[in-house]
């Protein structure tokens, strides 16, 4: 992914709602399944790591990206953004 593509995705994510929250349970099978469904429907997913989680936003973003075949677009503070092109 080029830096221009990444910048465009970051700008789209700025106005998007946070739909994924990772808490003390961490990354579970159910969370992976729900993020997979969201990526299939939206392509761009914004998530948040709660204070009770043992993971940082960067770690969570990288683990989810690897598990789902997605791209980690951004990780700032407690929020992260994932992108995966729709299979068409």
pLDDT digits (tens, 9 = 90+) for 34-60: 999 999 999 999 999 999 999 999 999
Average pLDDT over residues 25-29: 92
Go through the domains of the chain in sequence order and give each one's CATH number: 3-83 (3.30.110.60)
Six-digit token string for 13: 């994510």
pLDDT at 1: 82
């Amino acid at each position: 992914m080029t830096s221009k593509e990444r910048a465009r995705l970051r700008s789209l994510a700025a106005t998007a709602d946070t739909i994924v929250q990772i808490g003390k349970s961490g990354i579970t099978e159910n969370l992976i399944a729900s993020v997979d469904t969201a990526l299939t429907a939206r392509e761009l997913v914004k998530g948040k790591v709660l204070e009770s989680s043992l993971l940082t936003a960067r770690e969570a973003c990288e683990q989810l990206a690897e598990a789902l075949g997605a791209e980690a677009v951004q990780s700032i503070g407690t929020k992260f953004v994932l992108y995966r092109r729709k299979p068409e």
